[in-house]
Amino acid sequence: MDLETSIANLPAYMPAFAPAFWDDPDPSDGFRRPSVRSRGSARASLAVGPGDVFRILHVESGLEYNWAVVIDGLMNPQYLVEQPETVQFYDFDGTLREHTFDFFLLTSAARRIYIQVKPLEIVERHLWEPTMELIASQLSADDVDEVLLLTDAELHPDTIANAKLLRHARRCPALEAENVVLDLAENASGFVTIGDLVASSGLDGIAFVAALRLVDRGHLVVLDEGRIGYGSRVRVAEPAPGEAEADV
């Protein structure tokens, strides 16, 4: 088959697989830009957001990048910013010092969390846990609810892969197939695999993207561990208390 015939026989364009990438993401809200002079760390940027408005977030290491992807992709936070405003604390010797956390997170449940990201080896070698506990003890409850120290030990490759997959689906345009897939899931007995939903819909790969978008928006719940795929079992999410009361 010649090239002209091959091109003519290409399948129809499917917008589900052409993410609606942002045109002009909002600039970073971070209080400090990562230094470009350090040779001991990496520099990268990614766009974060719920899908309507994206904002640039700068990171200074591969570990920070992966945690940013996981937080944005799997937690759907209200707000995530890097390098928030510095906090002051007294160290173990009573000296007043300043510290800048890697991230500030406002969760979907409105919890305010400062996040420090470090490789486990460095955490253990330089006693970061007691330092974070010391700083947390001096922060006002009016400003923050929790301080987290995140390492590479808590990150599984499947978690990162799932976060990247859902972030990709989030950038795809809304699909009519989402209503079809959700209706099939609602009429299923208990759980159903994503592959079954795709097959029943007759919409092939577009239905798979629709299922991912439903997972990302909280309409479908994945029941299995591991990477999300056609074999993953899902069920319809329970309605929120307010939604349940509204239906009564």
- Residue 43: the pLDDT is 83
- Residue 25: the pLDDT is 84
The residue ranges of DSSP E strands in the chain, in sequence order, are 44-48, 55-59, 79-82, 87-90, 96-99, 103-106, 112-117, 146-150, 192-193, 220-222, 233-236
Q: Which residues pair with 88 in a beta bridge?
A: 98
Can you give the residue range of the structural domain that contains 22? 17-154
Whether residues 40 and 130 share a domain: the answer is: yes
pLDDT over 50 (residue 248): no
170 Cβ contact partners less than 8 Å away, ≥ 6 residues apart: 50, 51, 73, 213, 216
Whether residues 53 and 97 share a domain: the answer is: yes
Whether residues 197 and 232 share a domain: the answer is: yes
Whether residues 145 and 102 share a domain: the answer is: yes
Where does the pLDDT of residue 211 fall: very low under 50, low under 70, confident under 90, or very high at 90 and above?
Answer: very high
* CA angle (150, 152, 157) in 5-degree steps: 120
- Residue 119: the pLDDT is 98
- Residue 91: the pLDDT is 96
129/163 Cα distance (integer angstroms): 27
- Establish if 6 belongs to a structural domain: no
pLDDT over 70 (residue 19): no
Whether residues 150 and 217 share a domain: the answer is: no
pLDDT, tens digit (0-9, with 9 covering 90-100), for 112-138: 999 999 999 999 999 999 999 999 999
Q: Last residue of some domain: 125, 154, 183?
A: 154
Task: Look at residues 76, 75, 70, 146 and name the one whose alpha carbon lies nearest to residue 112.
Answer: 146
Q: pTM of the predicted model, to two decimals?
A: 0.85
One-letter amino acid of 28: S
Q: Are 82 and 30 in contact (CB under 8 A)?
A: yes
Whether residues 184 and 144 share a domain: the answer is: no
The SS3 assignment for 161 reads helix
CATH of the domain at 228: 1.10.10.10
Whether residues 130 and 42 share a domain: the answer is: yes
pLDDT over 70 (residue 242): no
Mean pLDDT of 77-95: 97
Whether residues 37 and 90 share a domain: the answer is: yes
pLDDT, tens digit (0-9, with 9 covering 90-100), for 164-207: 999 999 888 888 999 999 999 999 988 999 999 999 999 999 99
pLDDT over 50 (residue 247): no
200/181 Cα distance (integer angstroms): 9
pLDDT over 90 (residue 53): no
Whether residues 135 and 96 share a domain: the answer is: yes
Whether residues 192 and 148 share a domain: the answer is: no
* CA angle (73, 77, 80) in 5-degree steps: 95
More confident residue, 9 or 106: 106
Specify the number of domains making up the chain: 2
Where does the pLDDT of residue 59 fall: very low under 50, low under 70, confident under 90, or very high at 90 and above?
Answer: very high
Least confident interval from 17-26, 84-93, 102-111, 196-205: 17-26
- Residue 246: the pLDDT is 47
Whole-number mean pLDDT of the chain?
88
194/206 Cα distance (integer angstroms): 12
Whether residues 90 and 209 share a domain: the answer is: no
- Establish if 137 belongs to a structural domain: yes
Q: Are 49 and 55 in contact (CB under 8 A)?
A: yes
Sign of CA dihedral 155, 157, 162, 165: positive
Whether residues 183 and 84 share a domain: the answer is: no
CB atoms within 10 A of CB 98: 9
Where does the pLDDT of residue 5 fall: very low under 50, low under 70, confident under 90, or very high at 90 and above?
Answer: low
CATH of the domain at 41: 3.40.1350.10
